[in-house]
Amino acid sequence: MMARTSSLSTSPDPQSEAPPDVTTGKRYPLLVYRQAARRYRPVGVLLFVVGLLAQLPLFIGELRPQNMFITYQQLSLLGLGAIGAGVLLWLAAQYEIRRAFVQCQPDYLLISTASGRVAVAYARFNTLKPVKVSGLYKKEDLKGRDRNILKPLLKETALEALVTDYPLPEKEMRRRLSRYVFSPRDQGFLFIVKKSSDLNMELTAFISRAREVAAGVQAPTGYVGPFERVARR
pLDDT: which is higher, 42 or 177: 177
The DSSP 8-state label assigned to residue 135 in this structure reads H
Q: What are 136-153's pLDDT values in tens digits?
A: 988 877 887 778 888 889
Residues 131 and 84 in one domain: no
pLDDT: which is higher, 183 or 138: 183
**Is 62 inside a domain boundary?**
yes
**Is 102 inside a domain boundary?**
no
The DSSP 8-state label assigned to residue 182 in this structure reads B
Residues 146 and 197 in one domain: yes
Q: What are 106-117's pLDDT values in tens digits?
A: 989 999 998 889
Q: How many CA atoms lie within 13 A of 216 on its CB side?
A: 0
The DSSP 8-state label assigned to residue 184 in this structure reads S
pTM, two decimal places: 0.72
Phi, psi of 77 (to 5 degrees): -65, -40
Residues 49 and 11 in one domain: no
Among 1-5, 153-157, 214-218, the range with the most confident prediction by mean pLDDT is 153-157
**Is 91 inside a domain boundary?**
yes
**Is 231 inside a domain boundary?**
no
For 222, the 3-state DSSP assignment is coil
41-53 helix and 31-38 helix, angle to the nearest 10 degrees: 30
Q: In the chain, pLDDT over 70 holds for what percent of residues?
A: 82
Residues 82 and 125 in one domain: no
- CA 53 → CA 57, 79, 145, distances in Å? 8, 8, 31
Residue 74 has pLDDT above 90, yes or no: no
Domain count of the chain?
2
Distance CA 113, CA 226 (A): 18
Phi, psi of 169 (to 5 degrees): -55, 140
41-53 helix and 72-99 helix, angle to the nearest 10 degrees: 160
**Is 116 inside a domain boundary?**
no
Distance CA 54, CA 83 (A): 10
pLDDT value of position 221: 42
Q: How confident is the model at residue 22 (pLDDT cuts 50, 70, 90)?
A: low
Residues 137 and 197 in one domain: yes
Residues 67 and 10 in one domain: no
Residues 190 and 147 in one domain: yes
Query: Are 15 and 119 a contacting pair, CB within 8 Å?
Result: no
Structural domain containing residue 10: 6-25+121-215
Q: In the chain, pLDDT over 90 holds for what percent of residues?
A: 39
Among 97, 112, 146, identify where a domain stops.
97
pLDDT value of position 30: 95
CA 26, 147, 157 angle in degrees (round to 5)?
35
Residues 134 and 180 in one domain: yes
Mean pLDDT of the chain: 81
